Amino acid sequence: MIAQVLGEGLPLVVIHGFGVDHRIMLPLEDVIDESGWQRIYIDLPWAEGNADANVSSADHVAQSALNDVHEFLGDRPFAVIGNSFGGMIARHVAHLLRDQVLGLATLAGVYEPTHQARSLPRRQVVREDPAVLALAGQVRDDYEEMTVVQSEATLEAFTRYVLPGLRGANQAILERVAAEYGLSVEPEVAHPVPFEAPSLHLFGRQDHVTGYEDGWKLRNHYVRGTYAVLDAAGHNAHLERPDLTAALVNDWLVRSNESVAIPHSLRLS
């Protein structure tokens, strides 16, 4: 479901991660707005307010996102950015509609759907602050589970942008999708021709949920990809390193905008 459409300009489809909703991506609003893109925020099927349409797999979620893109954009060119599970869905959309896609970005994206098969760093908190944990109160467990930089700023961001989606998610849908969490065919396998549009692949060095090694393995597929592994950043890297994330997203948006005038068949020539 399209949750929000903000601004005008070239369309940018924004896809959130598992168990949350589009609000987790709103911290990127300033940099995207300043770059002159229209933001199309998608709420995936479990988000609060969505009717239960019997979605029960990642394939179903991916089709739902594709339906939203087709309905809102038709055959217009667009870029797409996804976070965590939404990064996997964004890759699917970008490969299936690559002739329309101006650019692809993933933030702490899922590249290996099976958790046990992921190459993960050890759990590490870079900055501990007992005062912040005390301030978190009833949301402490949820906040502490993902955060590697404990500060009033990350607590405020978590409470404002992450917690509402966590609290409102439809658990029945999440459980069904979790049982079929991976796409039936990975996008790079289904469409093995190298991806030529500008891309960004941003990871947290301390991300113990999806890691960064599995995404790095695909670097030869993304021939115009910027790869960045940020220290002092976990799975919510864009909340813990907002300034650096904004700079990298802005650079990607500039590169994607420049690709508008280049015919798809000539992008590497």
Would you say residue 126 lies in a domain? no
The CATH code of the domain that includes 183 is 3.40.50.1820
Tokens of 46: 């479990």
Angle between helices 171-179 and 58-73 (to 10 degrees): 110
- Asked if the structure places residue 176 within a domain, the reply is yes
Q: Do the beta carbons of residue 224 and residue 201 sit within 8 Å?
A: no
31-55 pLDDT per residue, tens: 999 989 999 999 999 999 898 889 9
Q: How many domains does the chain fold into? A: 1
Domain with 68 in it: 2-120+169-266
Task: Indicate the average pLDDT of the chain.
Answer: 95
Is residue 149 a contact partner of residue 129, using CB atoms and an 8 Å limit? no
CB 39 within 8 A of CB 14: yes
Residue 198 belongs to a domain: yes
Residue 202: strand pairing partners: 107, 228
In a domain, 138, yes or no: no
Could you tell me if residue 154 is inside a domain?
A: no
pLDDT(268) > 50: no
Domain annotation covers residue 139: no
Looking at residue 200, its pLDDT comes to 98
Whether residue 222 is contained in a domain is answered as yes
| Domain presence at residue 42 | yes
Model pLDDT for residues 97-135, shown as the tens digit of each residue: 999 999 999 999 999 999 999 999 999 999 999 999 999
